[in-house]
Chains A and B, each alone.
Chain A
């Protein structure tokens, strides 16, 4: 029965194409990124020399950074499915379908989107393999053959992504009430942050198992595990202070706001600083790490070049770490952009009646758009710049020295952060058609 109704529901709805294309594209990007990093990591795990362990640890960190947003993306996609099928799901409930059946429908749809997106992601990865092969590590390109994953990984990846999406859809739907009168967000949304912990532990366990199979040394395993745990710990701390800082800044912005768009944006952030944080928090860790590592790398690189006695091997290592940082930062911003796009589409559909009424009142759609963008971009800027500044302060003496001896390496990191913010902005821009449709009614 569920399968038949799911098929009926697969017809286009009133929310427009953007609402169905977005989750597919998002899952596609996420899958392609995961495979890219996994492909690179695969190369690292074939190395057996002194520095190979460092490369392997860094690859694990990058994978952790990418899997966490994947989990929240699944939840967001399921909420979007539930919202854009608002009237149909509510009607089904009215006709007597149990909440379980209706939820199953939303989960199936999210999983189907994830599967379709993941397959596209695999194709995108295959197209990109020659390019990925050009990325230089240890002074020479990785090579297309090196980064091409075995066929069974490419088959398993879409299935795994769809399964993850279905799992996080089940959890994400706990925030949504599908009643016979409509779909709406639960007032007291259950807290979901523990999922991140579970996901983190899961990833660590998976990586541990994987490496045991491959046969990495026991000492290396312990070190890598400790690194991942320390990493998760920092993430947890940032999760605690992030929403608090965002609330503080938003309430100051509410008082200062002079235009309708600024007032609306600040109020909507203040309405739920935790939700604002959930959307952009993934960037915090990345930009913290980017500055932290970037300063170190820049400094060491400069010292080595300055002394003129830097051995080529460590110079190469520093260059590689820098490459890795850039890839991870860009990837993490891409992930955030995907989840912002999907999350925003759901948020717009959730408030379609309100946007329609504001349009009737004569509020320009441009004002609504500006408010919506600001509500995402403002916490994002606070998060990205704030974490970067904290990292710079933590390493203050070193930052100062680096600024003098290796300004270029800091400039590159600043540029990448700026580009990342631009990518998220693009994620917002693509949801504009959803708003236009909602406002036009």
Chain B
């Protein structure tokens, strides 16, 4: 049995004349934490959206290995992809993007209610997740009454409460200060890979990437570098990868198209 939970091959995607993805192959391993790094416009968010079935690539395939076999994500219709995202995936966005008029517990429970769970049961599960993420006592607060870090923990609880196999996070710490960012990243890792689940995170923050088990670096719609076991790598190394990527993106000829960084 394959140890890959998501396999993508030959992904291309253009927006007008801009090539966001120019042929990407990527396997996401079950239980790993994968960081996708790269400068702005390198295509990392588009890649995340294709892997998660939000965006359909122009060409190429994405397969998701679920309990019942391989799901051809790129061949599913809009409605089926929506259902897949709802039931098998979890999402954490930079701004949280929680529903402001709902309370914390309602925001989390909503994910379960969308799958048909009765409200009382859903809220019970939601409370459990909020407590596990250190938010006990804040369940009835509305989102505006929470700090940025607390709101992001609510978003993590929402992404995890359905038992999502894979959690996709797009700059989950982008709007937080460094200490809160470290706490939130810890909570995110603990609730995903800590439970045998898979985390795919798009980030430009070397500190965030440094805590993941594998890092791929993107430039101009291609994966130009990859390294594994980054957790054992000094943060400075991760910073160097980012700096190189940025320099390459800025136009300096050199390491174009060649893998960078240490391989485990």
Contact = CB atoms under 8 A, between A and B. Distances in A.
A210 interface: no
A362 B101 contact: no
B114 A367 contact: yes
Interface string A125-162: 00000000000000000000000000000000000000
Interface string B151-180: 000000010000000000000000000000
Interface string B71-105: 00000000100111111010101010101111000
A4 interface: no
Contacts of A259: 113
B54 to A, nearest CB: 5
B119 interface: yes
Contacts of A270: 101
Contact of B85 (A257, A267, A362, A367): A362
Contacts of A267: 99, 101-102, 106
B118 interface: yes
B110 A260 contact: yes
B52 A263 contact: no
A362 B97 contact: no
A313 interface: no
A260 B52 contact: no
A263 B110 contact: yes
B97 A263 contact: no
Interface in A365-389: 367
B102 A363 contact: no
B91 A361 contact: yes
A364 B106 contact: no
A379 to B, nearest CB: 15
B263 to A, nearest CB: 33
A361 B101 contact: no
A268 interface: yes
Nearest to A375: B101
Interface string B56-76: 000000000000000000000
A185 to B, nearest CB: 11
B223 interface: no
A93 B93 CA distance: 27
Interface in A148-182: none
A258 B114 contact: no
Contact of B102 (A264, A353, A362): A264
Nearest to B144: A187
Interface in A266-285: 267-268, 270-271
A360 B85 contact: yes
A362 B83 contact: yes
Contacts, number: 62
A359 interface: yes
Given A267-B102, A267-B106, A363-B86, A260 B97 contact: no
A280 to B, nearest CB: 18
Interface in B107-135: 110-111, 113-114, 118-119
Contacts of B106: 263, 267
Nearest to A361: B91
Given A264-B102, A360-B52, A360-B54, A354 B97 contact: yes
Contact of A362 (B89, B113, B119): B89
A361 B111 contact: yes
Contact of A264 (B83, B99, B119): B99
A266 to B, nearest CB: 9
Nearest to B116: A259
Nearest to B93: A357
Contacts of A271: 100-101
Nearest to B84: A362
A362 B110 contact: no
A268 B101 contact: yes
B163 to A, nearest CB: 14
A36 B119 CA distance: 50
Interface in B25-64: 49, 52, 54
Contacts of B84: 362
A270 B113 CA distance: 20
Contacts of A260: 110, 113-114
Contact of A263 (B54, B89, B113): B113
Residue among B86, B87, B99 with max Cβ neighbours from chain A (10 Å): B99
A356 B91 CA distance: 12
A328 to B, nearest CB: 35
A287 to B, nearest CB: 28
A270 B114 CA distance: 21
A268 B102 CA distance: 8
Nearest to A354: B97
Contact of B119 (A257, A358, A359, A361): A257
A362 B114 CA distance: 9
A268 B100 CA distance: 9
B170 to A, nearest CB: 9
B78 to A, nearest CB: 9
A354 B143 CA distance: 13
A357 B110 contact: no
Contact of A354 (B91, B99, B110): B99
Nearest to A271: B101
A357 B101 contact: no
A353 B95 contact: yes
Given A257-B119, A258-B118, A353-B97, A361 B86 contact: yes
Interface of B: 49, 52, 54, 79, 82-87, 89, 91, 93, 95, 97, 99-102, 106, 110-111, 113-114, 118-119, 158
Interface of A: 257-260, 263-264, 267-268, 270-271, 353-354, 357-364, 367
Given A258-B118, A271-B101, A354-B99, 13 more contacts: A257-B119, A258-B119, A263-B106, A263-B119, A354-B100, A357-B91, A357-B93, A361-B111, A362-B85, A362-B87, A364-B79, A364-B82, A364-B114
12 contacts: A260-B110, A263-B113, A264-B101, A264-B110, A270-B101, A357-B93, A357-B97, A360-B85, A360-B91, A362-B85, A364-B82, A367-B114
